[in-house]
A and B are shown apart, each in its own frame.
Chain A
């Protein structure tokens, strides 16, 4: 009998022994990796302000630590959040225990942590494929492929044994993230190892094709890893925290299909003014501009879900994180298509504007929606009445928001200034500024960026302490769990 049938008969829902252990592990790992990623980011920001922070060691220079920062932020922190919340959401919305047993779920968890540590070590040892957001060498790529296939088996297996007739929209987004990232990972990492017993490999593509494949992957890593997966999080946790249904379920379906169809074509906008054929650049630009439609549809859907519950923002800093994240999602998905327009790109490309844009997405959208989800899920998973300190949550929110504002405004200013300095000509047709003059000019903005990063890191440390104290605190009676959790039989 399905849960709907049970509900229709007024019968209580049958109790399912959800696998919450693996979700707890992923949430703790996500918190740990968030602090690591932000700390390494701050260190790199300091290196950019004062190069002596490179310390003269090869393993602490910017080139080797930068992929440690990006991988820790995107894959370790973001990935752990996606694994953890997808396992949580798919079980709850399908009313079924995770498919494949406890050991398989644990293998995904420990195998993924193993991958992260091995990848980070390989970067600092100087091994890298040199591909943006896909730096691990071939043996680590194969390991991740195996994990990803098993992850898909667990997720799809749980969907297939669901007790609910309907697949909730959040699961559609998670499923798109899992399947598309699998295709992207396989396509982008096709490479030929020098030896089966050596780490070095070379890409199967070359020249412009290689650049095209890399940015087909790179942009869609943003689109499907950092957007689709986290939209799944948004569609589950905002309605839960607000205790309201999704504003428009029809709009969420429209959001899903239009996003999936459009995103995959947008990659070439990273290669404006390169050897890539013009028509391909135009195609990427056109699809990027069209992406406004699903992105803003999704943003409106997320924000309007709070209709009638806006007052909760005053009392629930966790929900404040989620709603602000949706705002940042709207902002950065507006900025991205603007930057993809060729004329704008001629100014913005290769400047710090791009860095600011990426961080408004990753800090404002990815991190904030994750923090919102974590603040909701931690008391539920550990059966606590709430977080240890709501005041600390509020402090976290404001410190982190201030940090993002420092970060993105300084990078806007630095980026636009760099772009203008690089393209300035004097009356004789010579470049008006040497490159180093532009580097000197952005120095104050680099320091402001570091201040922003430190604010964000401080907020994460507050959160880690708050989470630690919450987990250490006493268990609460079921009646004091969050209302939305009680309604779902959680």
Chain B
């Protein structure tokens, strides 16, 4: 929220308080990047799970492979959903604050 609002003006125009808000904005950006990396990590994990399941020589590895694929798929989906949910929440808050102003 702070990052979205503060990014509308140049950094040098911001008062001291908003300068620190800008650094918080960078922190939010870093967090989004980290979340993306974790989300992309799910792709190779899901493929690995499918590979293990397809070539498994015993029931345990077959179960593990399918479970890993399902886990990675569901977790990746939750990362994507969480990302949109957070953006929606920020957008709603900004609109609410703009309404008050």
Contact = CB atoms under 8 A, between A and B. Distances in A.
B64 A140 contact: yes
Contacts of A122: 60, 64
A258 B55 CA distance: 49
A106 interface: yes
B59 A125 contact: yes
Interface residues of B, number: 28
Contacts of A24: none
Nearest to B30: A101
B34 A199 contact: no
A180 B71 CA distance: 28
A487 interface: no
A125 to B, nearest CB: 6
A125 B78 CA distance: 30
A104 B38 contact: yes
A241 to B, nearest CB: 32
A292 B29 CA distance: 50
Given A106-B78, A114-B71, A137 B60 contact: yes
B35 to A, nearest CB: 4
Contact of A101 (B20, B35, B41): B35
Interface in B49-101: 52, 55-61, 63-64, 67-68, 71, 75, 78-79, 82
Interface residues of A, number: 27
A106 B82 CA distance: 11
Q: Give the secondary structure class of B's interface.
A: helix
A14 B27 CA distance: 15
A200 to B, nearest CB: 7
B61 A121 contact: no
Contact of B57 (A103, A125, A195): A195
Nearest to B39: A103
A338 B79 CA distance: 51
A139 B60 CA distance: 10
Contacts of A106: 75, 78-79, 82
B71 A110 contact: yes
Interface string A98-128: 0011111011001100100110011001010
B61 A103 contact: no
Contacts of A199: 58, 60-61, 64
Contact of A114 (B59, B67, B79): B67
A101 B38 contact: yes
Contacts of A195: 57
A279 interface: no
B38 A103 contact: yes
A53 to B, nearest CB: 25
Given A102-B82, A118-B67, A139-B64, A197 B35 contact: no
B58 A198 contact: yes
Given A125-B59, A198-B56, A198-B58, A118 B64 contact: yes
B34 A100 contact: yes
B58 A103 contact: no
25 contacts: A14-B20, A97-B27, A100-B34, A101-B30, A101-B34, A101-B35, A102-B82, A104-B38, A106-B82, A107-B41, A118-B63, A121-B63, A125-B59, A127-B58, A139-B61, A139-B64, A140-B64, A197-B55, A197-B57, A197-B61, A198-B56, A198-B58, A199-B58, A199-B61, A200-B58
